[in-house]
């Protein structure tokens, strides 16, 4: 477990408190109860949030680079040590750091990788589509090679990953111009309409079969706003109409069952918007499912 306590790339302040809230909700104990060995490496550090306006289309670019590099170095250290990194944000810009680490690690092993992006948003903005310049709306574009070189170049290769190997799930808020970019970039998108039409079960079967096709390492980048705000109010950018509690659990259980996940981001939990830490507790509950907690095992039930 690695904490990255910053809201440097976000619209609303408060996700800097996310790592501590996840700890308070019992993440370490939940993983230990599943028989896992857990090490909490504490928090990486970086510059304070200056709350400054955007410069050249990006807000807090210099500070975001410093935080992403710190996250990258910690995640890379974990991967090299042969342990499974869980990066706790912090805002979603930090995923640029974890994906940079994974890209470098996988390049060294000459193994492919894919990213499963769980989010209400496509996070594919550019300064042209995001007047606010908040970088947490841009990480998918940046890891796919579109954005300021200070960030697109923090991995060993550019792009860090081809857009076609980024799979987005739960999307339900995409700006008009961003839409065109998402389509042109050939991201693999499973939006809420698809989940409505074919259900989470079949959607996840398709997602995981795509991940198997790519092979290698699967990185899961989980933005709390993926979840429906009625169950997860503790995030600064809620969008109505997300996965329900059961849909989210099924999604996590199926990721676990696939045995494919090799690294994880838990992003955008914002205790300033939460209600008595209930969103953090839900995240820890879902974390348990991602690591094998089940009502009864399918094996025990003979399925
Ligand atoms: Mg989001
Ligand atoms: Mg996001």
Residue-wise pLDDT tens digits, 196-252: 999 999 999 999 999 999 999 999 999 999 999 999 999 999 999 999 999 999 999
281 is catalytic: no
Q: Is 265 annotated in the active site?
A: no
Is 153 tagged catalytic?
Answer: no
> CA Rg, the chain, in Å?
18
Q: How far is the CA of 58 from the centre of ligand 1 (A)?
A: 18
Cβ-based neighbour number of residue 109 at 10 Å: 12
Which residue among 223, 247, 265, 293 is the active-site one?
A: 223
Number of residues that this document lists for the chain:
303
N-term to C-term CA, the chain: 33
Do residues 211 and 251 make contact, with C-beta atoms less than 8 angstroms apart? no
Fold of 2-290: 3.40.800
CA contacts within 13 A on the Cβ side of 143? 37
Q: How high is the pLDDT of residue 37? A: 98
Question: Alpha-carbon distance 1 to 114, whole Å?
Answer: 21
CA–centroid distance, residue 294 to ligand 1 (Å): 27
Q: Of the candidates 25, 54, 47, which has an alpha carbon nearest to the alpha carbon of residue 271?
A: 25
Residue 84: name the closest of 254, 258, 218 by CA.
218
250 CB neighbour count, 10 Å cutoff: 18
d(CA 121, ligand 2 centre) in Å: 6
pTM of the model: 0.97
> Which is the catalytic residue, given 60, 91, 92, 188?
92
* Ligand 2 center to 140 CA (angstroms): 9
Write down the pLDDT at residue 224: 98
Spatial separation of the C-alpha atoms in residues 133 and 140, rounded to whole Å: 14
pLDDT the model gives residue 301: 75
The low-confidence residues of the chain, meaning pLDDT below 70, are: 297-299
For this structure, is 92 an active site residue?
A: yes
State the distance from the centre of ligand 1 to the C-alpha of 120, rounded, in angstroms: 5
Q: Which ligand is nearest to the CA of 229?
A: 1
State the pLDDT at residue 175: 83
Q: Which is nearest to 175 in space by CA: 90, 239, 95, 118?
A: 239
Q: Distance, CA 135 to ligand 2 centroid (Å)?
A: 10
Ligand (nearest to CA of 235): 1
219 an active-site residue? no
């Amino acid at each position: 477990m690695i904490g990255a306590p910053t809201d440097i790339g976000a619209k609303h302040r408060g996700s800097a408190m996310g790592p501590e809230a996840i700890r308070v909700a019992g993440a370490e104990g939940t993983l230990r109860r599943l028989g896992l060995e857990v090490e909490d490496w504490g928090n990486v550090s970086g510059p304070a949030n200056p709350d400054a306006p955007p410069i050249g289309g990006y807000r807090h670019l210099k500070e975001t680079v410093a935080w992403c590099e710190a996250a990258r170095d910690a995640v890379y250290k974990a991967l090299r040590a042969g342990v499974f990194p869980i990066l706790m944000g912090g805002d979603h810009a930090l995923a640029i750091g974890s994906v940079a680490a994974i890209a470098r690690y996988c390049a060294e092993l000459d193994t492919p990788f894919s990213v499963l992006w769980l989010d209400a948003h496509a996070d594919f903005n550019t300064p042209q589509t995001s007047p606010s310049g908040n970088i947490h709306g841009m990480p998918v574009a940046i890891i796919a090679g579109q954005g300021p070189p200070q960030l697109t170049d923090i991995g060993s290769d550019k792009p860090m990953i081809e857009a076609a190997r980024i799979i987005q799930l739960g999307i339900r808020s995409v700006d008009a111009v961003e839409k065109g970019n998402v389509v042109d970039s050939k991201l693999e998108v499973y939006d809420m309409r698809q989940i409505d039409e074919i259900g989470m079960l079949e959607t996840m079967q398709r997602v995981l079969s795509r991940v198997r096709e790519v092979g290698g390492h699967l990185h899961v980048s989980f933005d709390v706003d993926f979840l429906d705000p009625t169950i997860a109010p503790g995030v600064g950018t809620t969008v109505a109409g997300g996965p329900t509690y059961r849909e989210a659990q099924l999604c996590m259980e199926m990721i676990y069952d696939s045995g494919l996940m090799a690294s994880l981001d838990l992003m955008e939990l914002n205790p300033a918007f939460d209600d008595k830490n209930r969103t953090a507790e839900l995240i820890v509950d879902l974390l348990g499912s991602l690591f094998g907690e089940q009502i009864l095992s399918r094996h025990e039930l003979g399925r």
